[in-house]
Structure 1
């Protein structure tokens, strides 16, 4: 049986007519719950001018989350690199890594994270910014290794933490996988957003990987959408309700077909078995879970049910089972 690590990706959604302050409070509760259950990481995404999501600045939220947790790794999933200068990115995550040593991940992505006008208001011409991605990735790796120069002069991203952030590239296709391989960083495949063959994309990353001081060998995570409930019927209903928030004007049948492609929905036992199968299929030992159940309590329970099932099967691997694992609370 595969030994699997579970992590959380939080989009920080606004549900139940609650405001952003409430949603951010629920983000902290999700991170604390994930830590108690033995999850490896809590990552939060970045989006701009999207009414249903409350996180525009992962580094600010992560500072809040880090102060309210003690062991779980915290990171961005993803910081949208086209919008930012490498030095500012490195400084922000060096600050986090100095506050929470050995716990910080810098996950980067290439998406705009919002509609065109929001993207332009944030950083100008997005197409031009995308073209700079290789140079930005190179600069960030040099800044984290403290060997960066600008116009021939050394520049250091301060403060210098005891341990630099882990570097990850997130994506849904071979382009992002190629960047991760070229710059010697971990790769996270977003299955919940992709119609690509995940096994093929991950293998392309492994084949092209170039070792780096930070990452001597390829490291992979697969992000999956999931809904876990006591019964199959309830899981399907919750999945459809979550998908309907982002897919309007489509039929119930189309919604069900979309949910089946984009996420796993079922009982704890069924999802445990499916993750174990996917671990072998994709050659990964870590899954990052995201769910858009439009009910905060049921969202937490979905994570709890799956973690309990994984513990019972002996398939859940944590950084610290004795302190971090599910304890029935």
Structure 2
């Protein structure tokens, strides 16, 4: 089965590298993704950490859109707790007007950073988490030029010819039901939490309300992947990404992607060694000849053809090789 493949780009910085280099790599990756046949590339949002170069995925998406012609480009996602629904709707409508049918608005409820960063983004005021679904409703109203909480207020540009795709990011049942309720796409973060994943995605497909934003469901599954000529090389190339996942699980600020040798020095013989290898084993680790069969199995499991691929590696050439190997064998 030919899959609709996308790239989840976190603009990973590497040990000894810089955020500037990470952002340059992200733009180069977008051009490569279009040339090789990827369906989309989506940029993530992180604040106050060395691990990731992009704090403004909407800006990165805008620049990448200007450098490409066909590929869909979006955010995965905008961390809603940090911004007003009105402002999100305004720049979303601008990008949808300038690049019709190419921009995807991915929205998430995660903080996007540790406590200090979130407080700074919100003018040192506590975040009200209960209003995330309300923000989604307001964004939809502004995009569709509907009357909402602010009667008579418009979000320019009005009368967008092609309203943008909206993807609601999540890894739990609540997010799946919210996406279904409002008729938007659901991007399930399987690389974060594959437990009960099938139950969540089945619920989204079953409960999707065709009378809301879109008339049919759009289910996407995000997975982490490492591909190399040998399984051993693919496994070692994934060490830096797995170590970042481990740090995030422990609510620590992730390091820039470390080399396999440095990760081994930090992990072997420590109390975190067993958990690290548990996290590592959740990454899809394959060779060019086997990776697409594995991706097909995942697509069939979740009843979707839309997969978003995350790959953070110490060497950029290894990351590029993973993406090229996947798209080359997608037949």
TM-score, normalised relative to structure 1 = 0.89
> What is the SS of the residue equivalent to 2:55?
coil
CA 1:168–1:246: 2 relative to 1, 3 Å: closer
Residue 250 of structure 1 and its aligned partner are, at CA, apart by 4.0
Q: Which residue number corresponds to residue 270 of structure 1? A: 290
1:140 to 2:139 alignment: yes
**Contact (CA 8 Å) 2:182, 2:213: kept in 1 or not?**
no
Residue 209 of structure 1 and its aligned partner are, at CA, apart by 1.2
Structure 1: how far apart are the matches of 2:30 and 2:214?
26
CA 1:297–1:126: 2 relative to 1, 3 Å: farther
Structure 1: how far apart are the matches of 2:9 and 2:240?
18
Q: 2:324 aligns with which of 304, 324, 327?
A: 304
> What is the SS of the residue equivalent to 1:177?
helix
Task: List alignment gaps of at least 5 residues for structure 1.
Answer: 315-329
**Contact (CA 8 Å) 1:166, 1:214: kept in 2 or not?**
no
Structure 1: how far apart are the matches of 2:125 and 2:198?
33
Structure 2: how far apart are the matches of 1:73 and 1:122?
28
Deviations along 1:276-320, one digit per CA (max 9) or x if unpaired, are 11111110111000011111111111100111122xxx2xxxxxx
CA 1:213–1:241: 2 relative to 1, 3 Å: closer
Deviations along 1:74-95, one digit per CA (max 9) or x if unpaired, are 1100101111111100001111
**Contact (CA 8 Å) 2:246, 2:279: kept in 1 or not?**
no
Structure 1: how far apart are the matches of 2:87 and 2:216?
27
Task: List alignment gaps of at least 5 residues for structure 2.
Answer: 248-265
Q: How many residues align?
A: 307
Q: Which residue number corresponds to residue 32 of structure 1? A: 31
> What is the SS of the residue equivalent to 1:147?
coil
Q: Which residue number corresponds to residue 186 of structure 2? A: 187
Q: 1:286 aligns with which of 306, 317, 326?
A: 306
CA 1:216–1:6: 2 relative to 1, 3 Å: same
**Contact (CA 8 Å) 1:82, 1:126: kept in 2 or not?**
no
Structure 1: how far apart are the matches of 2:78 and 2:127?
17
Residue 257 of structure 1 and its aligned partner are, at CA, apart by 2.5
Residue 126 of structure 1 and its aligned partner are, at CA, apart by 5.0
Structure 2: how far apart are the matches of 1:112 and 1:241?
22
1:17 to 2:16 alignment: yes
RMSD of aligned Cα (Å):
1.6
Structure 1: how far apart are the matches of 2:280 and 2:140?
37
